[in-house]
A and B are shown apart, each in its own frame.
Chain A
C-alpha cells in the first residue's frame, strides 16, 4: 500500500563525542498508518525523535517532511507549526495548570502570531476544540483538575491530547504505555485507533511488543543507530537478525 511519505530520514548520524547514537540511518514512514519503531535500549529511537523535533542537532544527514521540507533548517517552534507533534518519554504536562488549560495551550488559532493568539485567542472556537480533544482522550470529566494531580497514565493521555490539539501531520509518541495497567493499555490502543487518519502519520516508539503488534501497520527495528529490519510485525519478528539482537532467543 503506497501512501505519500510523511517523514524521510536519510543518512542521519548523531555523534555524542565518540558514541554514535544514530549511525547513517535511513528510514521512512508513510501517511495513513501507525508506524512502530522498536529496538533494544540505546538503539537510537528516542534520539531519532529528538532529531526530528529539534532537541538534538545531528552531525550529518537530512530529514525531510513530506519529502520536500528540510526541517533541519527550522527552529523547534517552526517544526511544530509545520505539523510535527511529539509526546515525550516522561510525561511532560504543565503541573500547575488544569487539564483544560493544558490542552488549550496546544490549540493555536493563530499559529504564526503569538501576539494575536494572546489578544484574540480566547474564543468559542478554541473552547470547542479543547472540548473535542478532551473527549477523544477520555478526560472530559477532569477538565478543571490540576494536571499535577493526575495519575501517571492520565498524564500520558493528557500529553497526547496537548499534542493532538494542533492536529499534527506527524504524531510521534514516545513510550505512551510505559507504566500503564492492562486496562489502560487497552484504552490507549483504542485511542490510537481513533487517531488513525489518511492525513496523519503516527510514529510509535514502544517496548511493549504486544502493544506494538496490536496497533502498528508497519514496524521498523533499530539497532545501534541503524535500521536493522522493516516491514510488518510478523515479518520483523521472524527475522533472524532481529531475533538474535532483540527478541533474544
Chain B
C-alpha cells in the first residue's frame, strides 16, 4: 500500500496536501454518478442537473488551471493566452456535435447558411467521427502551441513580453472568430448541439457522465503531471526557471524542453475545452476573451503556483464564488475578484498554498505586550 501511495506521490516523500486534493477529486468522481443518478438525485442530499453541470464545469476549469500551472509554476512562463487552446478544444468538439446534429440531413447550420454556403466546407470533413475530432483537437493545439512557443522561445521572449504576447494572440483570435465571415458563427458562436457519443446533451445521464469524466480526467492528469514533475523533467524545469543560461551551457537544449512542456500544456487545455463546451452547449468567442485568459492565471495565482493541486484549489474556489455571486449579487463580483487578486498577490507570497507570510505579518502587527505575554 505504501508503495502505491509513494508511486502516486511521484517520489520518495508522502505529500499530504497533494493526497488530500487527490482524494477530494476521487470523491467527486464517485459522488457524481451516485448522487446525480441514484435514488438521492434531486433531493437536498443529492444533486440535481444544474448542480451536476456546475461541478462538471468547475472540473474542466480545474484541468485548465493545472495545465496553466505546468507552464507558469514549473517552467516560469506566465501565459495570458491559454484561452486560445481551451477554445481550440471547445470549437472543434463543437464542430463534431454540429456534424452529429446534421447527420443524414442535407442542410447546413444557420451560421454557414448566412454565408451563402449550402454544404459544409471541406475542412469540416471527418468531424462526424468522435475519434477524428479528438485527434484533431490534440494535433491542432499541439501545432498552434508549437508555432507560438517555438517562435517565442527561439527569440528568447521571456517574462512580461511573453505574457503580453500571449494576450495579443488570444485577443486577435477573438477578433477573427467574432467575424461572421470566418465561418464559425461570429459573435454568437456555434450552438445547436444535440447529442454527443449517443447521449442527448440535455439528459441527466449525459450531464452526470460528462461531469464524472471531467473529474476522472482531472484525477488522471494530476497523477500523471505529478509523476512527470517530480521526476527528472521536473528538475529540468526548475533549472530552466532558476537559471536557463547555466543549463544551456551545461549542454541542455532548453528550447525543446520549453516547447515540449508548452505543447503538453496546450493539449491539456484543449482537452479541458473539449470537456467544457458540451456542458455549456455553445462554443463562442467568449472562450477567447482576453479577460478569461487572465482569469485562468488568476485561479493559479490565488491557489498557489508550482504545486499542481494549488491551481486546482484556486480554480474550484474562484469559480464557485463566481457562480454564486453572479447569480445573487452580480455587481459585486468584479470587486471581489479585484480584492482577492490584490490580497493574494501583495500579502501572500504564493496564493493560498503558502499562507505563511500572512501569519508572520499578523504577528508583526501584534502589540508588543501581547507577544511578550505569550512567552
Report if B19 contacts A (CB, 8 A). no
Query: Are B251 and A122 closer than 8 Å at their CB atoms?
Result: no
Which residues from chain B sit less than 8 Å from chain A, CB to CB?
231-233, 235-236, 238-239, 241-243, 245-254, 256-257
Q: Are A94 and B251 in contact (CB under 8 A)?
A: no
Instruction: Note all chain A residues with C-beta closer than 8 A to B246.
Output: 88, 92-94
Quote the shortest CB–CB distance from A185 to chain B (angstroms).
Answer: 24
| Contact bitstring A178-220, B, C-beta under 8 A = 1, else 0 | 0000000000000000000000000000000000000000000
Per DSSP, chain B at the interface is: helix
Asked if A97 and B235 make an inter-chain contact with CB atoms under 8 angstroms apart, the answer reads: yes
Shortest Cβ distance from B354 into chain A, in angstroms?
Answer: 14
- Some 28 contacts from A to B, beta carbons below 8 A apart, are A55-B245, A75-B253, A76-B248, A77-B251, A80-B248, A80-B249, A80-B250, A80-B251, A81-B251, A85-B249, A92-B245, A93-B246, A94-B238, A95-B242, A97-B235, A97-B238, A104-B235, A105-B235, A105-B236, A105-B250, A105-B252, A111-B251, A114-B252, A114-B253, A114-B256, A118-B232, A121-B232, A166-B250
Is B249 a contact of A53 with CB atoms below 8 Å? yes
- CB of B251 within 8 A of CB of A117, answer no
CB distance from B111 to the nearest CB of A (A): 43
Measured between alpha carbons, how far is A55 from B256 in the docked complex, in Å?
A: 18
Residue in chain B with minimal CB distance to A159: B246
What is the total of A-B residue contacts with beta carbons within 8 Å? 69
A117 touches B232 (CB 8 A): yes
Q: How far is the CB of B61 from chain A (nearest CB, A)?
A: 28
* Cα-based distance from A94 to B235 in the complex (angstroms): 9
A124 to B107, CA, bound (A): 65
In the bound assembly, the distance between CA atoms of A108 and B249 in angstroms comes to 13
Which of A80, A93, A104, A162 has most B Cβ within 10 Å?
A80
Select which of A106, A114, A117, A121 is within 8 A of B250 by beta carbon.
A106
Cross-chain contact of A118 among B231, B250, B254 (Cβ < 8 A)? B231
Chain A residue numbers with a CB within 8 Å of B239 are 94, 97, 105
Smallest beta-carbon distance B6→chain A, Å: 15
A104 CB contacts on chain B under 8 angstroms: 235
- Other contacts beyond A76-B248, A108-B251: 10, CB < 8 A: A77-B248, A80-B249, A80-B252, A81-B251, A92-B245, A105-B235, A114-B252, A114-B253, A118-B233, A121-B232
Q: Which residues of B contact A30 (CB under 8 A)?
A: none
Establish whether residues B252 and A77, one from each chain, have CB atoms under 8 Å apart when the complex forms.
Answer: yes
A interface vs B, CB < 8 Å? 53-55, 75-77, 79-81, 85-86, 88, 92-97, 101, 104-106, 108, 111, 114, 117-118, 121-122, 162-163, 166
Considering the complex, give the chain B residue whose CB is closest to the CB of A76: B248
Q: Chain A residues with Cβ under 8 A from B233's Cβ?
A: 118
- A88's closest neighbor in chain B, by CB? B246
List residues of chain A with CB within 8 A of the CB of B252.
Answer: 77, 80, 105, 114
Contacts of B256 on A, CB cut-off 8 Å?
114
Among residues of B, the one whose C-beta sits closest to the C-beta of A163 is: B250
CB neighbours of A122 from chain B (8 A)? 231-232
With both chains docked as a complex, state the minimum distance between the C-beta of A90 and any C-beta of chain B, in angstroms.
10
Known: A96-B238, A96-B242, A122-B232. A114 touches B257 (CB 8 A): yes
A193 to B41: give the CA distance in the assembly, Å.
Answer: 77
In the assembled complex, the CB of A192 is this many whole angstroms from the nearest CB of chain B, namely 20
Distance A162 CA – B242 CA, assembled complex (angstroms): 15
Closest B residue to A75 using CB positions = B253
A246 and B256 CA atoms in complex are apart in Å by 45
Complex interface: chain B residues within 8 A of A117 (CB): 232
Q: Are B243 and A94 in contact (CB under 8 A)?
A: yes
Shortest Cβ gap from B149 to chain A (Å): 16
Contact B251 A166 (CB under 8 A): yes
CA distance A188 to B256 in the complex (A): 36
Chain B, residue nearest A165 (CB): B250
- In the complex, which residues of chain A have a beta carbon less than 8 angstroms from the beta carbon of B254? 77
Nearest Cβ on chain A to B225's Cβ, whole angstroms: 15
On chain B, the residues within 8 Å of A75 by CB distance are 253
Tell me, in angstroms, the Cα distance from A79 to B250 when the chains sit together.
9
C-alpha spacing A162/B251, complex, angstroms: 11
Give the docked Cα–Cα distance between A108 and B253 (Å). 12
Shortest distance from the beta carbon of B267 to any chain A beta carbon, whole Å: 17
Shortest distance between the CB of B257 and any CB in chain A (Å): 7
**A54 vs chain B, min Cβ distance (A):** 8
Check B232–A94 contact: CB distance below 8 A.
no
Given contacts A105-B236, A118-B232, A121-B232, whether A94 and B249 have CB atoms under 8 Å apart is no
Q: Which residue of A lies closest to B306 (CB)?
A: A96
CA distance A69 to B287 in the complex (A): 52
- Given A114-B256, A114-B257, A121-B232, also A94-B250 (CB < 8 A): no
Q: Which of A76, A108, A121, A162 has the most CB of B within 10 A?
A: A76
